[in-house]
Amino acid sequence: MASEFDLIQRYFTRNTPQALLGVGDDAALIKPSAGMELAISTDILVAGTHFFADTDAYKLGWKTLAVNLSDMAAMGSKPRWATLGLALPEINEEWLAKFSEGFFACAETFGVDLIGGDTTRGPLTLSVQIMGEVPAGKAIRRDNAKIGDEIWVSGELGTAALALAVLQNKIALSESEMSIYRLALEQPEPKVHLGIALRDIANSMIDISDGLLADLGHILKRSKVAAHIHLEQLPTCNYVSHHLHEKPIHKLVLAGGDDYELCFTAPKSQHAKILEISQELTLPISCIGNIIAATDGDFSSTVYNQQHQIIDIKETGFDHFA
């Protein structure tokens, strides 16, 4: 039977041109570029909580890295290095081959070196530490949203949550429809290039992993402001847009999570420039509301429908300990 070190050598050891020393020693060695600050983040994916245990291994490998790249995108950081921790219930070399193929496909797409990690026996758990670079003083943080800023989001909201609802038999869709929406859930595309393009434009930014209202809420709380959101301005897929008047669909779009799109705020003076970036990247970017002053310490979002009525939604997003 293959040992832990055999598995690392066979499936997770590749050339690391961006590192001084990669996989194979007690620690990796990296050298940040001159004038750059390091951005570092960690995410853990657990079978049964973040993904179904029978998820396609290639797509899971891709997503394991992609969700971390999304954190880099949200800081305006260029991702460069990653480490990978794997807890495996058993050695399944066919699964490992597909998982590593998907992981490295994502890594190569975005120019990331896997420089180390660890494996152990246990419930299927995937942990990545991602490291990137951003010019000194240029990181886009959560705590700088300004009153009067417009609020923008990239891509579509609620598509991944829709696919999950179908898999949980809460919504019925045809197989052809589901094949399109399922990709958003299982193989998200991190918006790294958009994050970098927004370095001198956005005042604040976050990636949408737990749901729009929950994640935007982090910006509002850190910046001590509030927000107005217009439901009809939210970018959605065809199914969701056709059912946007239904309350269960409100939850998918506003609190569904797993979107891995970017939500950011920027001055109105940057409106035209943001639309230019949208065209250059061939990526939809939609203005969905604006930042307002908070009243009595209420740093939250108010969501309005097309009739300018307030939509009451109790669940704002996913919480592991709720």
Q: How confident is the model at residue 321 (pLDDT cuts 50, 70, 90)?
A: very low
Q: Is 116 annotated as a binding residue?
A: no
Domains of the chain, by residue range, sit at 4-135, 150-304
Q: Is 148 annotated as a binding residue?
A: no
Strand 226-230, strand 301-304: pairing: parallel
Whether the predicted pLDDT of 73 surpasses 60: yes
Distance CA(71)–CA(132), nearest Å, equals 10
Q: Is 25 annotated as a binding residue?
A: no
The larger pLDDT score, comparing residue 257 to residue 36, is at 36
Whether the predicted pLDDT of 4 surpasses 90: no
Q: Is 318 annotated as a binding residue?
A: yes
Instruction: Express each pLDDT in 156-175 by its tens digit.
Output: 999 999 999 999 999 988 88
Q: Return the pLDDT at 1.
A: 55
Enumerate residues 6+ apart whose C-beta is below 8 A from 71: 41, 43, 130, 207
Q: Return the pLDDT at 274.
A: 98
Q: Is 210 annotated as a binding residue?
A: yes
Q: Is 43 annotated as a binding residue?
A: yes
For the chain, give the mean pLDDT. Answer: 91
Residue 303's CB is within 10 A of a number of other CB atoms, namely 23
Lowest mean pLDDT among 48-57, 71-80, 280-289: 48-57
Q: Return the pLDDT at 245.
A: 85
Q: Is 209 annotated as a binding residue?
A: yes
Distance CA(154)–CA(163), nearest Å, equals 19
The larger pLDDT score, comparing residue 30 to residue 156, is at 156
DSSP code for 16: -
What are the beta bridge partners of residue 131?
Answer: 40, 81
The larger pLDDT score, comparing residue 48 to residue 2, is at 48
Distance CA(266)–CA(47), nearest Å, equals 37
Architecture per CATH, 4-135: 2-Layer Sandwich (3.30)
pTM exceeds cut of 0.75: yes
Mean pLDDT of 257-263: 95
Instruction: Express each pLDDT in 78-117 by its tens digit.
Output: 999 999 999 999 888 899 999 999 999 999 999 999 999 8
Percent of the chain with pLDDT over 90: 74
Whether the predicted pLDDT of 15 surpasses 90: no
Q: Is 83 annotated as a binding residue?
A: no
Percent of the chain with pLDDT over 70: 94
Residue 166's CB is within 10 A of a number of other CB atoms, namely 19
Q: DSSP H helical segments within 131-246, as ranges?
A: 159-167, 175-186, 192-197, 212-223, 238-242
Q: 92 is written with which tokens?
A: 């399944």
Instruction: Name the residue type at position 142.
Output: R
Q: Is 5 annotated as a binding residue?
A: no
Q: Is 207 annotated as a binding residue?
A: yes
Domain 150-304 has CATH 3.90.650.10: yes
Mean pLDDT of 287-311: 93
Q: Return the pLDDT at 322.
A: 47
Q: Is 6 annotated as a binding residue?
A: no
Tell me how far CA of residue 201 lies from CA of 72, 140, 198, in angstroms. 17, 9, 5
